[in-house]
Structure 1
Amino acid sequence: MLATSKINLRLSITILIACAFELILQAQQADQVFYNGKILIVDSNFSVAEAVAVKSGRISAVGSIAELSSRLGPSTERFDLKGRTVIPGLIDNHMHYMRGASRWRFEARIDGVTSRAEALKLIAAKAKAVGPGNWVFVLGGWSEQQFADRPGGFTEKELDVAAPDNPVFIQKSYTRAYMNGLAAERLSRSSRISPSGRSQERTRGSSGGRSFSTREIISRATQFLPQRSGSERAEDVAFFNSVLNRYGLTAVYDVGRASDGDFTPVEELAKRNDLTVRVFHSLRYRANNSREADEAVSLINASKPYGNNDWFGLIGMGEHIYNPAHDSSMRSSIFGDEIWNEFEKLARAAAEGGWHIHEHAMQDSTASKILDIAEGLNKEHSMHELRWTIAHCDLISRENIERAKKLGLTLAVHNKTAKPVIEGRDSPPISWMQESGIVWGLGSDGAVVSTVNPFHTLWWVTSGKVFPDEVSIRTPVSREDALIAHTRSNAYLMFKEKDLGSLEIGKWADMIVLDRDYLTVPVDEIREITPVQTILGGRLVFDVEK
């Protein structure tokens, strides 16, 4: 009897050990394994691996094919990368996302198109797609100098030829607008704006003694965009996300305005698990004067920062915490004490509440004043913890880069391939940033003032050129440093460094399979790189073959 009991005990222990071992094997077994690739991990060593394993949407192992063979199980999906290069999902640290999502479906986009003839073909194709009588819009992302065959703005005649049966309205940033005869006629009827507002030389229209600025003309033209229901807005967001996935974007930070639209459609998609881009945003409010600034302070005090999860939500404040402190690299922008006092009031409320600020500063004088305020607040509120970001940095000095680094601030640089070259200096001075060791990241500032394609941005900072082929930055950065800036550094800027930005173990499996090798193609081909697949949390969200 005793012997039988011992045998049964040994058998039970053996079964338990076998079951435990089986559970361990199941825990190690990957949901997906991506192998036979050149996988750029973008860790601190810029490691390259042959394969990565994914479990529950996160990277569970990195290494050679042989090293990951133990992760394979009967239910593991296996993806042969066929030698292609893989990089982490690209992160845009500064996009006007909701504005782009609400408009993209109705636009002909000519971002990065260096042939005027090709741009007109795209406009004609959009007119054919929407049908006679419907509006065709090009709402930014391009510039007159990008056409190698014939630079310059569009004439009414060539737009009439491209789309004889459709009103066509073309916006160049916020400074110029072009339109065909039908668009001018409709605008004139609806708003009494004279057709004189439609040419490059005459970007101000007039009627009845009143002068209309280009911004007013743009505002009136965009009123012809279709009004959308709640469900249609969700469809528009999903459509825009599919465009961003096609470009290799997997996360964005929307630093836009309340007028760009609320985030209800994004929340709806998140609840349905239908988001294919991780969408984070800044706090929305108006602050154009002292009264509105006081109201904003009350909102800041009543709100909490970092109200987000892995997919969606609030991070901090910006890009204009006080709108009158809005500068430009194209003109001198010196603000008086009355403006900076209101700015500091909002900045103090932010620091006291633990808020991150992402603030627009193109001129060095603006950056200097922001740093003055940050240094004063740093005595009571650690900037190393708040990680405030100075954005754009077009004309920032070495001195202010060093001041920002000492405080623990970060810098955000945004695509200028559709902006004129600033003669005599690098704008922005990315080599100074890289040499200083400060954390700096790349974004688009799309979709009006620039292209949203991140490979256009990577080409810009590695070649130093803007479209079509003009040198803008004389001292560009390496491909490795540029990729870090568009991935790992941006994750840090957005307080997501534990989950995003590289393909290290434990982070979300957000990655892109490329059609060519980012590290070895001629530098001018970087702008032509196209993702073959985009993977978000281990899930395929874009496949060029499908």
Structure 2
Amino acid sequence: MVKPIRLGGAVKKNNQSFAQLTTTLFATLLISGAVGASDLVLTNGKILTVDSLFSEAQAIAIDGGRIVAIGSNASVAKHIKADTKLIDLNGKTVIPGLIDNHMHLVRGAQNWQRQIRLEGVLDYQEALSQIEKAAKRAKPGEWLTAPGGFVERQFDGRPGAGFLRKDLDRVAPENPVYLQHLFDWGYANSAALERIGVNPENPEGMAGLLLDNQGLPEGPVTKRAQWLIEQQVAQDKQADQLANAHQALSDLAKTGLTTVVDAGGFNTVDSLYAPFQSLDEQGELPIRLYYMKQVVDWQQGNRATNLQRLDGVRFGEGSDFFKPVAVGEQLLLSVQDTAGSPANSGDAVKAEFLEKAAELAKRGVQLHLHAVNDQSINQHLDAFAEINKTYPLAPLRWTLAHVDGIQPETIDRANDLGILFAIHSRPVLIGYRFQSRFGPKANQMTPMKTLTEKGALWGLGSDSPTVSIYNPFRTLWWAINGRMVDGTKVSEQNVDRKQALIAHTINNARLANEESNLGSLEIGKRADLVVIDQDYMKIEASQISKIRSLATMVDGEWVYRDASF
């Protein structure tokens, strides 16, 4: 017989609604033989399909990794057979698998198992407790690192200098500790300083140490001291990179992510992709990892663009779990910009950029380009407009990434060329810096609301793990509330929860040319979904960051299940 499974406990015999469903519908279908039978059916849920109508369903049927039916309990019951597994969701909300359109996971996964996770921790003592727990798991002498994902101002009760050396020594006395603060400074304990030849009690001649009133290292490190520590950390790679890669992806699955697009970036050398490719070949990738092909050879000292690196690359092809989807996020390092510093605008640089970008268009390759400053973006659009005369860009889905400083009229220019946008939750950590640099204008930066009003297609990602937080519900929380992790209001460009979810699912699938397979829960698509512990559409907006995945499914298989599910 069909055996239903109830979320959070056994099915009660007196559950009349479920009993009626099983006796009047399921039993009849089992006797007569179900048409279009399936392996798994989830019933009695609130399923947000994120289809074109943003419709809701009660049940979903899955077979062979794809969705074969979705709708009411009664309509989906037609897909039940004797060995179909039934799960009663008991009213729980289901959403499409969340997609991050821009993450630096391949680079960040090194030593993942030894990393300290401080994302979302809001108390200094709790942060120290996390470090202490990591030290107890580690062997004496092993490096413990936090690769960013926090800002010191988020920790209530923190000292003025951030993490103090004496506190790090206390919680990790037998391990060198290094905590990376964004891409700025770091914090080190005594054991870390000793690894670079610094006597913490007599730190003579070392640049980059913040000293206390007794002339001793207080904790923060920068300049040469920071560089030397980072070199030590880089040399201390764990031998089993497969385990690091698998653990990183498993941790992402636990948050509700089912697909990540890796953006490569500085120092993302080719060898870093090897463990992920091996896992794919072994059929052991828990979630989908798409990636941007690097045209800058980071192993070469000149870091020049070399488009010959694209020869033989078949974009969008490969396994369903691991394949290249674009070039990015750098095309030419000389046009790298920031919110306050535009790209190099010399004639030679613009000519080279036009040449390289035109070659991508000629090859029919998608470009996902780092672009933050409005002046830089307009410079790129000048080149795009010229290329568009010969090679229409709209079908290529070229994408501008970050676009924190883009202005409304520039959005119009990009829209006219069919350019898409990848928005990232970096202000959840660095929004205060935009406020400091640009004043009230910062409230209109990272313009999700304006993009939506202008009908632009934009997706939502994180740019984690260093300058943002990889938990997608923190990203959704930021997009909906416009606040930093510490609660500081930094944006008036926030959007409603419906638009945020669309941006984090189906729009990101469109950015990756995967909307026929991913991004919404519709018949024929891959069964990538997340069962969550709160009603996403009704929970207080301020609480969205606290939503947890109870279970994450990729390709019809559970890749994460909470003990209560």
Q: Structure 1 length as normaliser, TM-score? A: 0.89
Does structure 1 conserve the Cα–Cα contact (< 8 Å) formed by 2:372 and 2:404?
Answer: yes
Answering whether residue 479 of structure 2 is matched by residue 461 of structure 1, we say: yes
CA drift at 1:446: 1.2
2 CA distance for matches of 1:411 and 1:431? 13
Alignment map for 1:158-177 (pairs within 5 Å):
158-177=167-186
Alignment map for 1:291-302 (pairs within 5 Å):
293=304, 296-302=306-312
Answering whether residue 257 of structure 2 is matched by residue 246 of structure 1, we say: no
CA drift at 1:400: 1.3
Answering whether residue 122 of structure 2 is matched by residue 114 of structure 1, we say: yes
Alignment map for 1:316-395 (pairs within 5 Å):
316-331=326-341, 333-395=343-405
1 CA distance for matches of 2:558 and 2:549? 12
SS in 1 for 2:54: coil
AA aligned opposite 1:533: A
2 CA distance for matches of 1:218 and 1:318? 29
Alignment map for 1:31-46 (pairs within 5 Å):
31-46=39-54
Answering whether residue 95 of structure 2 is matched by residue 84 of structure 1, we say: no
Does structure 2 conserve the Cα–Cα contact (< 8 Å) formed by 1:93 and 1:493?
Answer: yes
Match of 1:399 among 384, 392, 409: 409
Match of 1:438 among 445, 450, 456: 456
SS in 1 for 2:269: helix
Match of 2:215 in 1: none
1 CA distance for matches of 2:234 and 2:204? 14
Answering whether residue 429 of structure 2 is matched by residue 418 of structure 1, we say: yes
Is the deviation greater in 426-435 or in 389-398? 426-435
Q: 1:420 to 1:69 in 2, by over 3 A?
A: closer
CA drift at 1:196: 4.8
Match of 1:263 in 2: 273
CA drift at 1:162: 2.1
2 CA distance for matches of 1:536 and 1:113? 28
CA offsets per residue over residues 167-206 of structure 1, 9 Å max, x none?
111111211111011111212369x99655344897444x
Match of 2:196 among 184, 187, 198: 187
CA offsets per residue over residues 300-357 of structure 1, 9 Å max, x none?
3554432333211111100001122211125455442333322222111101100100
Does structure 2 conserve the Cα–Cα contact (< 8 Å) formed by 1:39 and 1:87?
Answer: yes
CA drift at 1:87: 0.3
Is the deviation greater in 480-489 or in 444-453? 444-453
Q: 1:297 to 1:260 in 2, by over 3 A?
A: closer
Match of 1:11 in 2: none
Match of 2:63 in 1: 55
Q: 1:298 to 1:213 in 2, by over 3 A?
A: farther
Match of 1:513 among 507, 531, 536: 531
Alignment map for 1:268-279 (pairs within 5 Å):
268-279=278-289
Is the deviation greater in 284-293 or in 330-339? 284-293
Match of 1:13 in 2: none
Is the deviation greater in 153-162 or in 84-93? 153-162
Does structure 2 conserve the Cα–Cα contact (< 8 Å) formed by 1:180 and 1:198?
Answer: no
Does structure 2 conserve the Cα–Cα contact (< 8 Å) formed by 1:188 and 1:195?
Answer: no
Q: 1:474 to 1:70 in 2, by over 3 A?
A: same
Does structure 2 conserve the Cα–Cα contact (< 8 Å) formed by 1:300 and 1:350?
Answer: no
Does structure 1 conserve the Cα–Cα contact (< 8 Å) formed by 2:338 and 2:373?
Answer: yes
Match of 1:484 among 502, 508, 524: 502
AA aligned opposite 1:455: F
CA drift at 1:299: 2.7
AA aligned opposite 2:194: E
> What percent of counterpart residues are identical?
35
CA drift at 1:233: 1.7
Match of 2:295 in 1: 285
CA offsets per residue over residues 433-469 of structure 1, 9 Å max, x none?
1111111001111111111111110000101111111
AA aligned opposite 1:173: L
Q: 1:193 to 1:62 in 2, by over 3 A?
A: farther
Answering whether residue 504 of structure 2 is matched by residue 495 of structure 1, we say: no
2 CA distance for matches of 1:473 and 1:419? 12
1 CA distance for matches of 2:50 and 2:534? 17
2 CA distance for matches of 1:149 and 1:485? 35
2 CA distance for matches of 1:293 and 1:375? 24
CA drift at 1:132: 2.7
Q: 1:511 to 1:468 in 2, by over 3 A?
A: same
Match of 1:222 among 233, 239, 246: 233
AA aligned opposite 1:144: E
AA aligned opposite 1:466: M
Q: 1:268 to 1:301 in 2, by over 3 A?
A: closer
Q: 1:245 to 1:133 in 2, by over 3 A?
A: same
CA drift at 1:112: 1.1
Match of 1:533 among 537, 543, 551: 551
Identify unmatched segments of 5+ residues in structure 1: 1-20, 206-211
CA offsets per residue over residues 69-105 of structure 1, 9 Å max, x none?
1111101111111110100000010011212222321
Q: 1:151 to 1:57 in 2, by over 3 A?
A: farther
SS in 1 for 2:146: strand
CA drift at 1:55: 1.4
2 CA distance for matches of 1:26 and 1:276? 31
AA aligned opposite 2:410: N
Does structure 2 conserve the Cα–Cα contact (< 8 Å) formed by 1:99 and 1:261?
Answer: no
CA drift at 1:237: 1.3
Q: Structure 2 length as normaliser, TM-score? A: 0.86
CA drift at 1:379: 0.7
Match of 2:157 in 1: 149
AA aligned opposite 1:542: Y
Q: 1:323 to 1:201 in 2, by over 3 A?
A: farther
The aligned length equals 513
2 CA distance for matches of 1:508 and 1:51? 16
Answering whether residue 480 of structure 2 is matched by residue 472 of structure 1, we say: no
Is the deviation greater in 142-151 or in 366-375? 142-151
CA drift at 1:148: 3.2
Q: 1:370 to 1:45 in 2, by over 3 A?
A: same
